[in-house]
Amino acid sequence: MTRKRRISWFKFASPPAFVALVDRLAPWLWAGAVLLAVAGLYVGFFVAPPDYQQGNSYRIMFLHVPAAWMGMFLYLLMAVYAIIHLSWRVRLADVMARSLAPTGALMTALSLWTGSLWGAPTWGTYWVWDARLTSTLLLLFLFLGYLALHASASDREKGGRAASLLAVVGVVNVPIIYFSVKWWNTLHQGMSVTPTDAPSMAPSMFAALMLMTAACWLYAAAIGLRRAQVEALEREVDSEWAQRMAGSTEGAEAPVPEPGAGRMADERGQG
């Protein structure tokens, strides 16, 4: 029983099985992300009332907080894959880490941008060098540094190992970001949502925040897996299985799926 399950897990660590798995998962992840985002935006803009202090500017929270959480989470996940890559030389782990970095950078940039636009009407400034903001900026630089290092060496394996090392070292920054509002006196407000306490906001606001967070999760999963799939195929351009999965017949319009190519032909052009 245990043995059987273990084998099926290893199966998805092989690139062909992974590529096929992403083809099955991605449409559901996209659909879920869109549905949850529509629901979250509806609740966030048409159900949740204006804040008694901040008016309507607080609605930036529904974007800012999920993006900030996702940036930190993707960094942690990237570091886990980096450890697996460094420890056991699993190629697919490097593919995963490399594929999460652009989305992590995007989410972190978005949290900084929306935070800045939220700070302007709320604090009266777009930027301060306080602990929360500065450590989040550092997170963005860590993502970009990872990507630059990965691309730096002519030998992909070498560049990947250097980048993985940076990812692992930089992970200390994540708890610093998360607890910065507790450890230091910051202009940034404290945690409104913690794993232990009841959220300090109206239920409809909290509902919108959770829906947008879930949408953000599914989006990141969809785009991260899709990028990992492309990355895995790009690294295997000369192998027969990858060529078979891309559909070996001409034209993108009417490819004939080969046995084992799964549903890839239907979904080409997505994400």
Partner 1 sequence: MWDGIGDFLAMGGHAPWVWGSYGAAAVLLVLEMVLLGRRRQRAYALLRRRARARQTAAVGHEAGGDA
- For partner 1, the binding residues (CB under 8 A) are 45-47, 49-50, 55-57, 59-60, 63-64, 67, 102-103, 106, 109-110, 113-114, 117-118, 120-121, 219, 223, 226-227, 229-230, 233-234, 237-238, 240, 242-250, 252, 268-271
Q: What share of the chain is helix, strand, coil (3-state, %, to 5)?
A: 75, 0, 25
Cα–Cα nearest to 245, from 222, 264, 227, 270:
264
d(CA 146, CA 103): 13
Nearer to partner 1 (CB atom), residue 171 or residue 242:
242
Closest CB 253 distance from partner 1, rounded Å:
12
Cα–Cα nearest to 30, from 42, 38, 18:
38
Closest CB 227 distance from partner 1, rounded Å:
6
Nearer to partner 1 (CB atom), residue 81 or residue 219:
219
Closest CB 219 distance from partner 1, rounded Å:
7
Nearer to partner 1 (CB atom), residue 130 or residue 267:
267
Nearer to partner 1 (CB atom), residue 84 or residue 212:
212
Identify whether the C-beta of residue 151 lies closer than 8 Å to the C-beta of residue 102: no
Identify whether the C-beta of residue 215 lies closer than 8 Å to the C-beta of residue 207: no
Closest CB 264 distance from partner 1, rounded Å:
9
d(CA 165, CA 240): 32
Closest CB 19 distance from partner 1, rounded Å:
11
32, 50, 183 from 47: Cα distances, Å: 21, 9, 35
Nearer to partner 1 (CB atom), residue 51 or residue 83:
51
